[in-house]
Amino acid sequence: MDTTQGKVWFLVWLHLLVLGLAAFSLFPFVWMITTSLKPLNEVFAFPIRWWPVRVTVESYVSVWGIQSFSRYFANSTIIGLSATLLSVTFAVLAGYGFSRFRFRGSRFLMILVLVTQMFPGIMLVIPYFSMASKVGLINTYELLIITYTSFALPFSIWMLKGFFDSLPRELDEAALIDGCSRFGALRRVLLPVALPGIAATTVFSFLLAWNEFLFALVLLTTPQMYTITLGIANNIGQMRVQWNDLMAASVIATIPTIILYGFLEKYLVSGLTAGAIKD
């Protein structure tokens, strides 16, 4: 067999397959964006139009201004940022603790932390709802902030423990000798070095809170308190869906994610795989 010819065919097939994969990944996103830029009569034109003839941002204006998505966006931001701040802080402390102190049952605790990630949300939300009702926390930011803080903790603690494990203990020792307290050593010396790990957990925690649906659905009942996922889900549930508005809302809901990914892609992928693969 002619190897050069074989190699050319291999490259042709390879690139065709890659293009197919890219089309598969990209198409729903493209369709989302083009729909969001269509006026309503083009959304429901038949035969369908793949590209808008008249490009318009009226859906974005409508969704943001009239349909209170600015409110949902604000709710999601408040909840997401607070939960991120708390979970990263708590996870830094616990991750450092697990990394530096060995005590009886610490291994068991680590596994327990890992396993809480596997709990089905639907099982927890049943008693959680009645607990929250009893103390009058339904429809509050605080409730969702605490909830999402805990949801982000297992992954974050594992991730940061791994990160602290990779930092030499001599760093702590040196800081201690220089007169730092244990806590001071963590704050002044280790935190700056652990920044990539902290960045990855930050993104993870924020996106978890930003995208969560089930607990928001059960724990938020007044539209004023809706998060952005709940606002979108509510629109999908309408009898006659205004698809251009819905796709505009979806684009808006994804913008923070795109920004975070672009910003931290490098850390995120290496961080995720470092946490996931170890042998």
- Under rule CB under 8 A, which residues in 186-245 are in contact with other proteins? 210-211, 213-214, 218, 229, 232-233, 235-236, 241, 243
| Minimum CB distance to other proteins smaller for 166 or for 173 | 173
- The C-alpha angle 135, 137, 139, rounded to 5 degrees, equals 150
- The C-alpha angle 78, 82, 84, rounded to 5 degrees, equals 120
Cβ 170 to other proteins, closest distance in Å?
13
Question: In the set 12, 53, 168, 181, which binds other proteins (CB under 8 A)?
Answer: 181
Tokens of 149: 């803080």
| Minimum CB distance to other proteins smaller for 57 or for 259 | 259
**Own/partner pairs for 69-73, CB < 8 Å, 24+ apart?**
69/228, 69/231, 69/249, 69/252, 71/224, 71/226, 72/226, 72/227, 72/228, 72/230, 72/231, 73/228, 73/252, 73/253
Of residues 76, 211, 209, 82, the one with CA closest to residue 142: 82
Cβ 60 to other proteins, closest distance in Å?
15
Question: In the set 122, 174, 191, 195, which binds other proteins (CB under 8 A)?
Answer: 122
Cβ 192 to other proteins, closest distance in Å?
19
Question: In the set 32, 40, 138, 193, which binds other proteins (CB under 8 A)?
Answer: 32
Question: In the set 176, 187, 193, 264, which binds other proteins (CB under 8 A)?
Answer: 176
Q: Give the number of residues in contact with other proteins, rule: CB under 8 A.
A: 96
Residue numbers 50-109 binding other proteins by CB under 8 A: 50, 86, 89-91, 93-94, 96-97, 101-103, 107, 109
Cβ 112 to other proteins, closest distance in Å?
9
DSSP codes, 21-88: HHHHHHHHHHHHHHHHTS-HHHHT-SSPPSS-SS---HHHHIIIIIT-HHHHHHHHHHHHHHHHHHHH
| Minimum CB distance to other proteins smaller for 173 or for 191 | 173
Question: In the set 123, 170, 239, 240, which binds other proteins (CB under 8 A)?
Answer: 123
Contacts of 61 (CB under 8 A, 6+ apart): none
Cβ 215 to other proteins, closest distance in Å?
10
- What is the rounded distance in angstroms from the CA atom of residue 196 to the CA atom of residue 15? 34
Question: In the set 204, 247, 248, 267, which binds other proteins (CB under 8 A)?
Answer: 247
Q: Count CB neighbours of 169 within 10 A.
A: 11
Question: In the set 53, 116, 165, 195, which binds other proteins (CB under 8 A)?
Answer: 116
